[in-house]
Amino acid sequence: MEQDAKPHVVERSVEEELRTSYLTYAMSVLIARALPDARDGLKPSQRRILVACHDLDLGPRSKHRKCAKIAGDTSGNYHPHGEQVVYPT
């Protein structure tokens, strides 16, 4: 950055900034996490659970696994938000 260049500061009211920033954030959450994908009807967290089940070789004829094992593997390997989020999914 040159010595003569002044930083570009945009003056906005707090209300206006919160309104536009929150709307942008809310829309990104809806699109990225809350709405099911049109290709398979799954939300990203549901898809992560299925991938973890596949990694554990779980299928209709495989032996019983506790939910805690699946939730732990899902949150540990694919879901960085903690195990509490995986259980209700």
Does position 1 have pLDDT exceeding 70, yes or no? no
pTM: 0.64
Distance CA 64, CA 10 (A): 59
Question: Helices 44-55 and 67-77, interaxial angle, to 10°?
Answer: 110
- Average pLDDT over every residue of 44-58: 92
Q: Which two tokens stand for residue 73?
A: 């593997």
Q: Assign 37 a pLDDT band (cuts: 50, 70, 90).
A: confident
Which range of residues forms the domain containing residue 29?
14-85
Q: Give a yes or no: residue 7 inside a domain.
A: no
CB within 8 Å of 33: residues ≥ 6 apart: 43, 44, 45
Quick check: is 4 in a domain? no
The total number of structural domains in the chain stands at 1
Whether 64 is covered by a domain: the verdict is yes
pLDDT bin (cut points 50, 70, 90) of residue 44 is: confident
